[in-house]
Structure 1
């Protein structure tokens, strides 16, 4: 069984016995599906609703998930590479095993009431609005955090010293702080 290691996360990849697929394997994304052991290449799930879906041992490469709505979605051993999640909404998304996002885009994404503990976001444009989400142990190192909103959810997340400047800017923006000099 092949694995991909991204910043310490060891993601178990789909077996190479089956050819990669370029479309969703079901008639339409729907509720209560378990999707396992599939290598997705360039799949377009834009504006679809994924409700009560379990993704396990899947790989998404160059896929478009713009505007996708994920509710009560479970992720285990999933690797997303070069995917676009812009304008998507995540509600109660839970990471249950190794999950990595590499070179993905999350512009104007809403993430709420989710559990992303231990996930890895590597070289991502990570600019979501995050509320009531657990991210302790989430590795954000190497990602652009300049558009991020929702600092309280980042408790325990891993960032670099360079990213602290981006988080300071996010704090000033989120808290609507007025920065002024003291007059002599």
Structure 2
């Protein structure tokens, strides 16, 4: 088992993928699918509609823009350089999954569950992310979220070095949500509802006017 160190005594288990065992068999996300130990490389699945599960696989340089997948279960799966723009994935279960250097602009995703998930260097502009619950951690690392909407239970969600400018949060829980290394001063709304989340004193000062306004206070010079 391979673990990714998150610091502060936290870590998540990485996907278990045996690269040498992957096969490039014909696979499609269309209709009902059940894929295992696959290499899906430079494939075209724009506008596809389907449901199913994918296990122990690598998806690389693939177009899934405008795809509609529901329900979807991904276990021990890594996505690299994938286009998820304007896709809609609902009823998604992620277990030891990674999404790296991918486009997720306008992506609508509803996570029924997430465990040990790492998302790195992705653009989530205008996206809608709903989270039902997280075990271990769901980590967004160096992601951009311009005018995205993030809702649900944000407990155990970690935003590392992310730009959250224009984000609208609608959280019902946020215990152990970590915002300490991300930019929060231009969040559009919802900071006040992140009860249980962690920010630094410097972040609190920079976002003070926003927090006061959400609390119903009138801020004057």
Structure 1 length normalisation: TM-score? 0.86
Match of 2:191 in 1: 151
The SS at the match of 2:122 is coil
Contact 1:6 1:120 in 2 (8 A): no
CA 1:133 to 1:90, structure 2 compared with 1: closer, same or farther past 3 Å? farther
Would you say the 8 A contact 1:39–1:60 is kept in 2? Answer: yes
Range with bigger deviation, 103-112 or 88-97 = 88-97
Aligned to 2:45: none
For 2:132 and 2:219, the matched residues in 1 are separated by 35
Does the 8 Å contact 2:213/2:219 carry over to 1?
Answer: no
Task: Give the alignment partner of residue 38 of structure 1, picking from 77, 82, 102.
Answer: 77
Partner residue of 1:59?
98
The question of 1:11 aligning with 2:27 is answered no
Q: In the superposition, relative to structure 1, how do residues 76 and 29 fare at CA in structure 2: closer, same or farther (>3 Å)?
A: farther
More strand by share: 2
CA distance in 1, matches of 2:175, 2:63: 32
RMSD of Structure 2 on Structure 1 (CA): 2.2
Query: 2 CA distance for matches of 1:16 and 1:35?
Result: 12
Structure 2: 5+ residue stretches without partners: 20-38, 40-57
Highest relative contact order (Cα 8 Å, sep 6+), 1 or 2?
1
1:92 shift after superposition: 4.3
Match of 1:86 in 2: 125
Paired residue total = 178
Q: Is the 8 A contact 1:115 1:134 kept in 2?
A: yes
Contact 1:79–1:99 under 8 Å retained in 2: yes
Runs of 4+ in 1 over 6 A off after TM superposition: none
Whether 1:47 and 2:86 are equivalent positions in the alignment is yes
- In structure 2, the residue corresponding to 1:120 is in which secondary structure? strand
Aligned partners of 1:82 and 1:102 also within 8 Å: yes
Give 1:116 deviation, angstroms: 1.3
Q: Is the contact between residue 94 and residue 111 of structure 2 (CA under 8 Å) also seen in structure 1?
A: no
SS at match of 1:90: strand
1:132 positional shift: 3.7
Greater shift, 169-178 or 93-102, is seen at 169-178
Q: Spell out, residue by residue over 1:128-163, the C-alpha distance to the aligned partner (whole angstroms, 9 max, x if none).
A: 211243112111111000221212322111111111
Q: TM-score, normalised by structure 2?
A: 0.72
Partner Cα separation in structure 2 for residue 76 and residue 12 of structure 1: 9
3-state SS, counterpart of residue 74 of structure 2: strand
5 Å matches for 1:155-174? 155-172=195-212, 174=214
Cα distance, 1:47 vs structure 2: 0.8
